[in-house]
Amino acid sequence: MSNDTYDEEGFEPTYTDEKNELKISKNRKNKKKNKDSGRKKAPSRVIAIFIIFFLVLSTAAFISRDKIPSLVESFLQMDSITTDENPENTYEDIGENGNSPKITVESSTKATFIGYDKNFLYCTKDGVKLFDSNYNSLWNYTYTLTSPSVVNNGNITAIAELQGRSLRVYNDKGEMYTLQTDGSILQMEVNSNGAIGVILKTGNGYKIQAYSDTGQLLMERIEQDEGIYPIALDISDDKRVMAVSYIDTTDIEIMGKVLLFHTGKSDAISSETGDFFASVSKGDTLITVIRYLENGSFVAVGDNKIFALDTSGKELWNIPVDNKIDYVSFGGSNYIVVAYGETINTNKALDDGTVIVYDLNGKEKFQFSVGRPVTYLNAYRNGVVIGAGREFVCMNYSKSVQWSHTATQDIKDIILLSSPNSALYVTNSFAEIVDMKK
């Protein structure tokens, strides 16, 4: 595979690439396991919790807006969500008759934008609104949140506040359903049809729940064993199988594992191992991202390997990791795009700033080097946007550059819409649809 490099003074791409969304950071230097007689004791509950929140703090900061919300935000308190039957527009003024060349964004709104082909979703602490490409409001729902968390899959978006008990699910037509949970929401993930999996904190443990695309409870698992912590999950598109990542601190060394559950009662009855029917242990790998892909597999991203499982729990492939993973993004569920950072294993490591595109079989499609640390990665079906500081490039999955761009201010998002040249350009103060080739 060729290494396409970019000059330190700015992007001078000769080839291009594509990807989609999700990021993860790795904070692990190359470790040698202690095989001497003086073995470490299993971490205490307090130490284990600290390790988990430190891990999530170091990874969730790099996870994209529509995938795996930060557990650290679970310390925040949540106001209950309320909806008006005929809500008023509580958003920033976007001009006379709702039209303007840009939308003003205030930091106090905690705004998140999501592309819906030619339209875009605007989520704030006060509500959610769908706009078309002419900035016309197509629908609007209001609620009250302190710090909303948003996850997205295709044209499905879930909004909640971590440590709260209410969440809402929307598609491009409007609200699909709302839920009131019986525990505090720590994590959530929605599939491409609107079914959702959630991890809840209860008084004496955790609950893992799956809901249908109409908000009906499909399954529930209660975790009360000390030292076992669920941290990530995803649900298959047919909503029959859910994969959950755990950190197990009960042994001498912390262990990562993935359990697969049937969400339907009839399927669960046939499980020989109880309410989970398959499990995979990965030693000291801490798996912070799980994603269900279009080929029917679950991809798990850990701090020292990336691997895939089919819905029966069989491992399909495994990619060792020799660098920290700064970002992971999924290109329309057809590609796995990884931006690698600092080295873990100096003997095999890639250059910091190397981006590799993998197909759904875990095979490397191509790689290139930005020549410096990647600071932004967002992939879509029609392209991937890669950033290093204020330099950005958009590549397609045939390894061709669509456009390159030097920003004059800090950029929060460059969201590709129906064309890779048409993007929602989001800064700290405004958002507007622009032609990136101009």
Q: Tell me the HSE value of 159 on the side-chain side, using a 13 A CA sphere.
A: 33
Task: Please check whether residue 76 is in contact with residue 149, taking contact to mean a CB–CB distance below 8 angstroms.
Answer: no
CB atoms within 10 A of CB 424: 23
Q: Tell me the HSE value of 261 on the side-chain side, using a 13 A CA sphere.
A: 21
Which residues are CB-contacts of 320 (< 8 A; sequence separation ≥ 6)?
Answer: 304, 305, 348
Dihedral of alpha carbons 313, 42, 253, 56, sign: positive
Separation of alpha carbons 228 and 42, rounded Å: 12
Q: Residues 80-106, buried b or exposed e (16+ Cβ, 10 A)?
A: ebeeeeebeebbbebeeeeebebbebe
pLDDT tens digits, 354-385: 999 999 999 999 888 888 999 999 989 889 99
Q: Which of 378, 397, 392 shows the shortest CA–CA distance to 330?
A: 378
Find the length of the chain: 438
Predicted confidence (pLDDT) at residue 273 exceeds the cutoff of 60: no
Predicted confidence (pLDDT) at residue 305 exceeds the cutoff of 50: yes
pTM: 0.78
What is the percentage of the chain residues whose pLDDT exceeds 90? 55
pLDDT of 269: 52
CB atoms within 10 A of CB 415: 23
Which residues does residue 94 pair with via DSSP β-bridges, in sequence order?
A: none
pLDDT of 284: 80
Predicted confidence (pLDDT) at residue 176 exceeds the cutoff of 90: yes
Q: How far is CA 109 from CA 5, 53, 148, in A?
A: 38, 26, 10
Which residues does residue 123 pair with via DSSP β-bridges, in sequence order?
A: 112, 128
pLDDT of 317: 97
Detail the DSSP E strand segments found in 83-126. Answer: 103-104, 112-116, 119-123
Question: Which of these ranges, 52-56, 103-107, 293-297, has the smallest mean pLDDT?
Answer: 52-56
pLDDT of 50: 46
Mean pLDDT rounded to a whole number for the chain:
79
Show the tokens assigned to 103.
């939308």
Question: Which of these ranges, 40-54, 239-253, 278-292, 336-350, has the smallest mean pLDDT?
Answer: 40-54
Q: Tell me the HSE value of 416 on the side-chain side, using a 13 A CA sphere.
A: 29
pLDDT of 64: 32
pLDDT of 368: 84
Q: Find the mean pLDDT for residues 92-119.
A: 72
Separation of alpha carbons 338 and 399, rounded Å: 15
pLDDT of 268: 55
Separation of alpha carbons 20 and 231, rounded Å: 22
Predicted confidence (pLDDT) at residue 407 exceeds the cutoff of 60: yes
Q: Find the mean pLDDT for residues 408-419.
A: 94
Dihedral of alpha carbons 291, 293, 296, 302, sign: negative
3-state helix, strand, coil in the chain (%, to 5): 5, 45, 50
Say whether 170 sits in a helix, a strand or coil: strand
pLDDT of 8: 36
Predicted confidence (pLDDT) at residue 191 exceeds the cutoff of 90: yes
Dihedral of alpha carbons 359, 362, 367, 373, sign: positive
Dihedral of alpha carbons 37, 42, 44, 50, sign: positive
Q: Which of 241, 272, 273, 243 shows the shortest CA–CA distance to 258?
A: 243
Q: Find the mean pLDDT for residues 181-187.
A: 93
Detail the DSSP E strand segments found in 92-155. Answer: 103-104, 112-116, 119-123, 127-131, 137-142, 149-153
pLDDT tens digits, 33-51: 333 333 333 344 444 454 4
